[in-house]
Amino acid sequence: MITASEFRNGATFELDGQIFQVVEFQHVKPGKGAAFVRTKMRNIITGSTVERTFNPNDKMPKAHIERKDLQYLYKDGDLYYFMDTETFEQMPISKATIGDTFKFVKENMIVKILSHKGNVFGIEPPTFVELEIIETEPGYKGDTATGASKPATLETGAIVKVPLFINQGDTIRIDTRTGEYLERA
């Protein structure tokens, strides 16, 4: 069990049959009345964010999230297949479960599969990935306006904004949390 007074960023707990992760918390001790904990939390299954106030003595069951490294193999229809590199077992996961961050994952990449009590609810790709640009407009000489960018299609099919000097065939590094271009690889 975890009490509201023990909340820290990243703590996970069960509430009303849902699993939440603390995004922000604030212990408030007003001059009059009892203290309380103002919390901003994210439902890890649906991704929605909720703000709620708790009594510091409120107890909730702690939720243990399992993170396991698996290798992405291939896609077959709406199923994505992953392999445990130790046991060589393959695990199919539906497209609905995977989410939006998967657009930066290519075959044979190692990702973290997130599950709670054996139920897979998402994946975490590596924080930084290096991908090749398969299509982008050419940059023109003298076209160097500050902060200008253009769309580029990556080998995984994702589209990101890149600086004008990046060309087709270049390999770039991307932050998968924000989906932003970082540097040329």
Q: Is 85 left (phi over 0), alpha (psi -120 to 50) or beta?
A: alpha
Same-domain check for residues 43 and 74: no
Query: How many domains would you assign to the chain?
Result: 3
Cβ neighbours of residue 168 closer than 8 Å, sequence gap 6 or more: 133, 134, 135, 136, 138
Please provide residue 138's backbone torsions phi and psi, each rounded to the nearest 5 degrees. -70, 150
Residue 130 neighbours by CB distance under 10 Å: 14
Query: Among residues 124, 139, 171, which one ends one of the domains?
Result: 124
Same-domain check for residues 144 and 114: no
Q: How far is CA 89 from CA 19, 64, 84, 86, 160, in A?
A: 27, 23, 5, 8, 34
Q: Specify the pLDDT at position 133.
A: 92
Name residues of the chain where pLDDT drops below 50: none
- What angle is formed at CA 105 by the lines to CA 108 and CA 175, rounded to 5 degrees? 130
Q: Specify the pLDDT at position 12.
A: 86
Residue 61 neighbours by CB distance under 10 Å: 11
β-sheet with 149-154: strand ranges across: 159-163, 149-154, 128-136, 171-175, 180-184
Same-domain check for residues 83 and 117: yes
Q: Specify the pLDDT at position 40.
A: 92
Q: Specify the pLDDT at position 72.
A: 93
Same-domain check for residues 134 and 152: yes
CATH number (domain holding residue 55): 2.30.30.30
Q: Are 120 and 80 in contact (CB under 8 A)?
A: no
CATH number (domain holding residue 94): 2.40.50.140
Same-domain check for residues 179 and 133: yes
Structural domain including 21 reads 2-60
Q: Specify the pLDDT at position 71.
A: 94
DSSP class of residue 104 equals G
Residue-wise pLDDT tens digits, 14-44? 888 888 888 889 998 988 888 999 999 988 8
